[in-house]
Structure 1
Amino acid sequence: MLLALGSCNKLEIKPTDIIDPERGFRNLNDVNMGLIGVYALVDNSLMTINSTVSDEATFPVENTVGNSDAFRWLYNASSGSVTSLYYTYYRAIDRSNRALAGLSALTVNPAETATANRYRGELLALRAFLHFELLRAYASAYQPGAMGVPYMLESKIDYPERNSFESVVTLAKADLAAAKLLLPATQTDKTRMSRLAVTAIQARLALYEKNWNDAITYASEAIAALPLATKAQFPGLWTDANDSEVIWKMKRVGTTDSRAGDFYYRQIGDIVLYAPAFKLINTFDAASDLRYPAYILFDAGRAGVKSKYLVKKYIGGTASAPGLTDIKMFRTGEMYLIRAEARAEAGGDAAGDLNTLRAARINNYVNASFPDKNSLIEAIYLERYKELAFEGHRFFDLRRRNLPVERLAADAANASGAVLLQTTQAQYALPIPLQETQINKNTKQNPNY
């Protein structure tokens, strides 16, 4: 009995080789470190998924290693190219919930209240954003009653069912509203959540909800707070020479190799993994549109099977980190397009918003008029294709309108005939990871997988 009691006492000794969860957040500095851990998991995955699965990029012959299943629409629930984001973002959500719980357990002195409120606001905003990004990627459809994703409000081992699309939207809106009340109006660090960043998320969320009035309200709020980049500023936006019209961005640091540092479709050895689609290239007025030289690089010196076109949008950077630019998560340009689409649906000067954006991007632009609603919306979607290229929207934009993915034959030359992805095919919605549905029997797979 004495030996047994002694053994029980030893089992109650706190571990020394790991951080005890009960002591993980001892002060606000610990909470901030937990918060930074959430930011660390927000990456460019949705940008690359959107480009490879849609008609935004092409698969050059020189690429013999990268994400062929995604580009060729051969992915399934076991394909990490389209499913790995699911676990990455739920890890980030779990980190946000752990930090929120740790913060709630702290006794904060009055002098630290403002800082504590800011951290809580950032964590709530990030939780909403991450769930929304998962919803965009893995919802069976963007409409009420469709299967969304589990919305996790606390850190725990659980086997949740998928929340409906509208439930995820409602919970995200609640988190964003709470965050907005906590975040200070004076926050100026664009690499962290701000009140303006929350407004931008609210605008995008309202667009997917088809809540046109909210989309107009929030987009207008963002536009009033931060104007479009001028023609002189716009090229420098993509080299980090300035951050005009950037609402929120993810900081990138840490390479001295200009090829390796460019995350968009290159690897060491000067191999282009994905190049701009000819379909996209053809939409630009190369002589007048400022976006063409900022987004597209033509290199005539690349001979043989090498693609002469490259994505230029992210290969700027500084002398200490060439080929490395901050990831632009939200910009004023997107807000104009959100408001234009919402106004086209609800009534309002949608053409005015579209013309304002084009005039800021195209030299000698002459305002256009549109005979009807359909032609106006088609023009807005074409403008989203150009303005937001390689920023993580194209595939989701097509899904919002229930439009197929259609590629030019030239863009599918190395895609095993993957020219048309119909809305009825399984791959029109990304699959929930196989391991998730195998372990969690409450999680249903998207249709047709």
Structure 2
Amino acid sequence: MIKKLYKTYTLILPILILSASCTKLDLQPTDIIDPTKAYRNINDINMGILGVYALLDYTQISLNATVTDEATYPTENNVGNSDAYRWLYNPSSGSVTSLYITYYQAIDRANRTIEGLEALTFTGADAATANRYKGELLALRAYLHFELLRAYAASYQAGALGVPYMKVSDIGYPARDNFEVVVNNAKADLAEAKTLMPSTSTDKSRISNRTIVAAIQARVALYEKNWTDAVTYSSEVITAIPLATKAQFTGIWTDANDNEVVWKLKRVGTNDSRVGDFFFRQTGGIVLYAPALKLINTFDQVNDLRYPAYIKFDATRTGTKSQYLVNKYIGGTSTAPGLTDIKLFRTGEMYLIRAEARAESTGDAAADLNALRAARINGYTNSTFADKQALIDAIYTERYKELAFEGHRFYDLRRRNLPVQRLAADATNASGAVTLLPTQAQYAFPIPAQEVLINKNTIQNSKY
């Protein structure tokens, strides 16, 4: 249930005997914002949009790393929550249900801001800005719903239970929309957003142009298995934002440059939400999650530029300490380790979306796969593939490497109904959690217990 919080005010009235004409006392509460006055001008609308962004963080990254074969749980981690890693989560496990709550809060903020915007009249330059802001809010609403769909849909096919698509800020008991309904609503919001957005902009920290919208459209099309749209939208992004060169690639992960970054979450200051320092490791040096040996073994450790950019080996860490560390989000400064910007969409993902879509339709996908590999691996020579399945398998392996620790692995496996399969060496602290089959409850994240308890129209994912 999407809830609002209310306060009850008790007014202690003095004895009104000074005037017989006093029949009521009109006082406005002073410790809340009157919703009818929250959005008064274009600046208020912008503040509302920033409030939506404030709820976006690295939860998708952490979910995908812990429940799959991307990461392992080292012995030195005596403080982390391991229920997700060991597939012991249930509807009361905040480690896998917090995204549901937080993103619906963000959606509610987006809907409130849209309603506030539509109640105002703008002229001159503010009118153009208002159109752009509405496009941004619609795209955010679509993105948030689709990310919830990836996490909580019973499966990725028509007829499967998805999530409620909320278009207004309201109290009620929304039922779960089917997968295709959520997809179609997201597509409609994105299509309208695109007509309201400028073609280009320099701000990559918010949805500020049509290219960013196209990147979201490409990801939606991939999950919908709409191969034509997936090719169209990924190509739009690839044309606008080329791959980083070999010289540029490592700098993406230290924020030295923004090459091939389409949309990112900007991290600022020294106490902002961090991926590297607050999730993969702690400030005191404890490694909470380390890269899985299965992932490490997929890289050409000598020639693949991604290996040192994503993974660090530290021989000085001995005993029960993991010598392998996630290097992807640690950053390049000593004052704010782990404070690199979170990359939500990159051109590398677009190449892989287009490759998969072409492999499933026209069959000419090898060129995209080889182009991506050539940009990442020194001395690479083009590969050929015996058949469609060999090509699909190669694309999935490349997604495993290219998009490691970016919030995709679990959902990629689910798209193909493949099990999560860990190496025994990666599961020494997993309490037997080596293989997660599509038939098990934990193959889809549960809807939060509180939602099911309060919302009479919510159906839990099966087997929980």
TM-score, normalised via structure 2 length = 0.93
Is the contact between residue 151 and residue 168 of structure 1 (CA under 8 Å) also seen in structure 2? yes
Is the contact between residue 231 and residue 353 of structure 2 (CA under 8 Å) also seen in structure 1? yes
> 2:345 is matched with which residue?
330
Change (3 A) 1:279 1:261: closer
- Report how many residues are paired: 446
- Separation in 2 of the partners of 1:352 and 1:265? 35
Deviation larger for 48-57 or 13-22: 13-22
Match of 2:228 among 213, 232, 240: 213
> 2:284 is matched with which residue?
269
Does 2:69 match 1:58?
Answer: no
Is the contact between residue 187 and residue 195 of structure 1 (CA under 8 Å) also seen in structure 2? no
> 1:416 is matched with which residue?
431
2:162 alignment partner AA: G
Deviation larger for 259-268 or 390-399: 259-268
- Separation in 1 of the partners of 2:120 and 2:271? 41
- Separation in 2 of the partners of 1:275 and 1:265? 7
1:209 alignment partner AA: E
Match of 1:29 among 43, 65, 89: 43
Is the contact between residue 257 and residue 323 of structure 1 (CA under 8 Å) also seen in structure 2? no
Q: Sequence identity of aligned pairs in percent?
A: 71
- Separation in 1 of the partners of 2:245 and 2:64? 28
State the SS of the aligned residue for 1:374.
helix
Q: By how many angstroms is 1:185 displaced? A: 1.6
- Separation in 2 of the partners of 1:259 and 1:253? 10
Change (3 A) 1:438 1:120: same
- Separation in 2 of the partners of 1:8 and 1:442? 45
Residue deviations 1:282-326 (CA, integer Å, cap 9, x gap): 000000000000000001111110100000000114465343100
> 1:201 is matched with which residue?
216
State the SS of the aligned residue for 1:68.
coil
- Separation in 2 of the partners of 1:49 and 1:6? 64
> 1:143 is matched with which residue?
157
Match of 2:129 among 111, 115, 119: 115
> 1:230 is matched with which residue?
245
> 2:385 is matched with which residue?
370
Change (3 A) 1:149 1:256: closer
Q: By how many angstroms is 1:109 displaced? A: 1.4
1:171 alignment partner AA: N
Gaps of 5+ in 1: none
Alignment of 1:282-361 (within 5 A): 282-318=297-333, 321-361=336-376
Change (3 A) 1:65 1:7: farther
> 2:412 is matched with which residue?
397
Q: By how many angstroms is 1:259 displaced? A: 9.6
Does 2:403 match 1:388?
Answer: yes
Q: Which runs of 4+ in 1 moved over 2 A?
A: 5-10, 256-264, 317-323
Is the contact between residue 218 and residue 350 of structure 2 (CA under 8 Å) also seen in structure 1? yes
Does 2:32 match 1:18?
Answer: yes
- Separation in 1 of the partners of 2:239 and 2:144? 26
State the SS of the aligned residue for 2:24.
helix
Is the contact between residue 290 and residue 324 of structure 2 (CA under 8 Å) also seen in structure 1? yes
Deviation larger for 63-72 or 233-242: 63-72
Match of 2:442 among 409, 421, 427: 427
Residue deviations 1:84-133 (CA, integer Å, cap 9, x gap): 11010000000000000000011111231111011111100000000000
Does 2:9 match 1:9?
Answer: no
- Separation in 2 of the partners of 1:257 and 1:166? 36
Is the contact between residue 200 and residue 211 of structure 2 (CA under 8 Å) also seen in structure 1? no
Residue deviations 1:185-233 (CA, integer Å, cap 9, x gap): 2322000102111000000000000000000000011101110000000
> 1:92 is matched with which residue?
106
> 2:294 is matched with which residue?
279
- Separation in 2 of the partners of 1:6 and 1:92? 47
Q: By how many angstroms is 1:441 displaced? A: 1.2
1:163 alignment partner AA: D
> 2:8 is matched with which residue?
none
State the SS of the aligned residue for 1:267.
coil
- Separation in 2 of the partners of 1:369 and 1:24? 59
Deviation larger for 78-87 or 312-321: 312-321
Change (3 A) 1:255 1:6: farther
- Separation in 2 of the partners of 1:9 and 1:360? 74
Is the contact between residue 72 and residue 292 of structure 2 (CA under 8 Å) also seen in structure 1? yes
Q: By how many angstroms is 1:9 displaced? A: 3.4
- Separation in 2 of the partners of 1:219 and 1:114? 27
Q: By how many angstroms is 1:139 displaced? A: 0.2
Q: By how many angstroms is 1:258 displaced? A: 13
Does 2:198 match 1:184?
Answer: yes
Change (3 A) 1:213 1:268: same
- Separation in 1 of the partners of 2:332 and 2:342? 11
TM-score, normalised via structure 1 length = 0.97
1:102 alignment partner AA: G
Residue deviations 1:241-275 (CA, integer Å, cap 9, x gap): 00000000000012279999624411132111100
> 2:81 is matched with which residue?
67
- Separation in 2 of the partners of 1:8 and 1:146? 58
State the SS of the aligned residue for 1:313.
coil
Q: By how many angstroms is 1:64 displaced? A: 1.5
Q: By how many angstroms is 1:7 displaced? A: 8.9
Does 2:458 match 1:438?
Answer: no
- Separation in 2 of the partners of 1:314 and 1:164? 35
- Separation in 1 of the partners of 2:266 and 2:125? 29
Gaps of 5+ in 2: 1-15
> 1:129 is matched with which residue?
143
Does 2:259 match 1:248?
Answer: no
Deviation larger for 209-218 or 108-117: 108-117
- Separation in 2 of the partners of 1:303 and 1:407? 24
Change (3 A) 1:348 1:306: same
Is the contact between residue 304 and residue 377 of structure 2 (CA under 8 Å) also seen in structure 1? yes
Is the contact between residue 59 and residue 71 of structure 1 (CA under 8 Å) also seen in structure 2? yes
Is the contact between residue 257 and residue 322 of structure 1 (CA under 8 Å) also seen in structure 2? no
Is the contact between residue 100 and residue 123 of structure 1 (CA under 8 Å) also seen in structure 2? yes
Change (3 A) 1:201 1:260: closer
Change (3 A) 1:99 1:38: same
